[in-house]
């Protein structure tokens, strides 16, 4: 694990027998233990956190996003509620198979040392960290280009603004001993609001596997399923976009939060998107997961209304016709044996992963159809009650991050059985997913938090802010059709194309 204060650059990591890199770079900034230190002095970083209520947040879908001062945005927003943050008080980077456990342990240590004054006491107030984690334990990335690319990151912002229903708040976070960091009113003035910039002209190109070649990858997946090697595999593709101007994540977030307000619009460390799939929410002992699998494209995109729909002209009749067609498509999806089979695999995997943590669970017998602007999904909301952790048990209560780790990867983004599906993905997909389809979200001081799956998303290049990779994936079962899956992947690329203002090629 690599840890650094205030967004500072960590030193060179040193290898350990376990393959985990460790570098405690906060030692140069935070007070270190000494013979003169009082008994019980904290070891590691100590944060001072203050949350106060605020009443200056407009009641709009983009009010939180609009508060972000610059493009280095942290965000988790749905229906205008959620969290946004900026600045970095602490940053933890983790690697490989231990990326979740290392991040969770680092977070528990930070919580143990923190001094928190929280006048709001709602989920998301007080001390929080935003996180993003890679899909796979290993990455086929180019080692010569990025030999130590982190598999996961937790970022503790310096400023957080949140809203939940009628209550809004602001949290400021300072690292004890970081003399370079502003505090108090200086902390807010240190991040002046910069104008939001648009990307300008956008050029789209094939990614690792071109659109013309991807159906052959799907066909190989189908063939392997039909031999009995596995039951389902999720295969992904990417599209590369180049923009005229450097990308401003606030522009992307604003468009996504407005047009896809039923999704969770997010931005963490270059991953940005609007996911419809909630991997896990943990709140006051209750857990929930929204499982999506089984998809059909809408007749028309709600982000691109037909001309004349607002003036009573012919477009209004076209919109009504599209709505009728969407109802027929929804009924078709709800009866599709192929999609119902795909969905059942995903629900079973989530329920099985949550069961060891819960004293009771509710798994609906049939899915509902979730309508989004670009597609419709079969959806199931799995809920549960966490098992009480008695003080004498010796086991800490699971944090939302540890629950996300237990759920990942679900059959909705990997396949069934998991091991066989993951092996096939590595063999035939030909794509470095990076943090696409991995957990993304936030964790709070009490272990509460929300983690989605990084779908309908894109990754901004850390080396070139004009370069962004868009991702889409499809669940493949024995009855899948390669060309239909290609069309589905195009529909799933639509949210990020819309955010960029790019037309399909």
Active site residues: 232, 277
**Token duo for residue 223:** 């063939």
What are the helix (H) ranges across 372-468? 400-407, 418-428
Longest dimension (CA), the chain: 81
Three-state helix/strand/coil letters over 431-446 = CCCCCCCCEEEEEECC
Radius of gyration (Cα) for the chain, nearest Å?
23
Across 289-307, b (16+ Cβ under 10 Å) vs e yields: bbbbbbbbbbbbbebeeee
Contact 267, 490 (CB under 8 A): no
Question: Could you count the other beta carbons within 10 Å of the beta carbon of residue 331?
Answer: 11
User: Of the candidates 404, 70, 441, 409, which has an alpha carbon nearest to the alpha carbon of residue 271?
Assistant: 441
Contact 293, 287 (CB under 8 A): no
213: CB partners within 8 A, 6+ apart? none
Question: Could you count the other beta carbons within 10 Å of the beta carbon of residue 169?
Answer: 24
Question: Could you count the other beta carbons within 10 Å of the beta carbon of residue 108?
Answer: 14
Contact 378, 334 (CB under 8 A): yes
**Residue 429 to residue 193: CA distance in whole angstroms:** 42
**Residue 127 to residue 160: CA distance in whole angstroms:** 9
**Residue 444 to residue 107: CA distance in whole angstroms:** 9
DSSP state for residue 177 in the 8-state scheme: T
**Residue 208 to residue 165: CA distance in whole angstroms:** 42
**Residue 417 to residue 285: CA distance in whole angstroms:** 29
Summarize the chain as % helix, strand, coil (round to 5). Answer: 30, 30, 40
What is the rounded end-to-end Cα distance, in angstroms, of the chain? 41
């Amino acid at each position: 694990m690599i840890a650094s204060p205030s967004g500072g650059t960590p030193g060179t990591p040193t290898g350990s027998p376990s393959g985990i890199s460790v570098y405690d770079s906060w030692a140069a900034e935070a007070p270190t233990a000494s013979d003169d230190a009082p008994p019980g002095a904290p070891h590691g970083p100590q944060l001072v956190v203050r949350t106060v209520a605020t009443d200056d947040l407009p009641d709009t879908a983009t009010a939180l996003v609009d508060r972000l001062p610059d493009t280095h945005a942290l965000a988790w927003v749905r229906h205008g509620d959620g969290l946004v943050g900026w600045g970095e008080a602490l940053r933890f980077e983790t690697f490989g198979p231990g990326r979740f456990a290392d991040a969770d342990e680092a977070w528990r240590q930070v919580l143990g040392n923190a001094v928190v004054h929280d006048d709001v006491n709602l989920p998301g107030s007080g001390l929080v960290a935003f996180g993003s984690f890679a899909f796979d334990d290993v990455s086929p990335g180019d080692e010569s280009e990025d030999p130590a690319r982190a598999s996961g990151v937790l970022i503790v912002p310096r400023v957080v603004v949140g809203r939940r229903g009628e209550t809004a708040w602001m949290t400021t976070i300072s690292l004890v001993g970081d003399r370079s960091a502003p505090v108090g009113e200086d902390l807010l003035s240190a991040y002046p609001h910069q104008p939001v910039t648009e990307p300008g002209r956008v050029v789209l190109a094939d990614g690792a596997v071109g659109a013309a070649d991807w159906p052959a990858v799907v066909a190989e997946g189908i063939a392997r399923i039909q031999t009995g090697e596995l039951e389902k595999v999720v295969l992904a593709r990417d599209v590369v976009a180049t923009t005229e101007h450097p990308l401003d994540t606030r522009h992307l977030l604003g468009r996504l939060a407005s047009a896809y307000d039923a999704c969770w619009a997010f931005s963490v460390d270059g991953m940005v998107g609007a996911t419809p799939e909630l991997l896990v929410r943990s709140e006051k002992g209750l857990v929930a997961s929204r499982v999506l699998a089984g998809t059909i494209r809408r007749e028309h995109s709600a982000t691109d209304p037909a001309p004349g729909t607002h003036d009573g002209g012919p477009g209004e009749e076209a919109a009504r016709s599209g709505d009728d067609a969407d109802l027929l498509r929804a009924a078709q999806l709800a009866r599709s044996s192929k999609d119902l089979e795909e969905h059942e695999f995903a629900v079973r995997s989530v329920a099985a992963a949550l069961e060891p943590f819960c004293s009771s669970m509710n798994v609906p017998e049939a899915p509902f159809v979730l309508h989004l602007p670009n597609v419709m999904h079969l959806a199931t909301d799995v809920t549960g009650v966490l098992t009480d952790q008695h003080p004498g048990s010796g086991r800490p209560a699971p944090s939302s991050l540890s629950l996300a780790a237990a759920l990942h990867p679900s059959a909705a983004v990997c396949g069934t059985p998991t091991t066989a599906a993951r092996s096939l993905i590595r063999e035939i997909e030909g794509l470095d997913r990076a943090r696409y389809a991995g957990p993304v979200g936030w964790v709070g001081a009490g272990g509460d938090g929300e983690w989605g799956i990084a779908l309908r998303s894109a990754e901004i290049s850390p080396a070139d802010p004009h370069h962004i990779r868009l991702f889409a994936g499809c669940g493949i079962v024995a009855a899948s059709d390669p060309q239909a899956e290609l069309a589905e992947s195009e529909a799933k690329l639509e949210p990020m194309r819309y955010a960029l203002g790019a037309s399909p090629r």
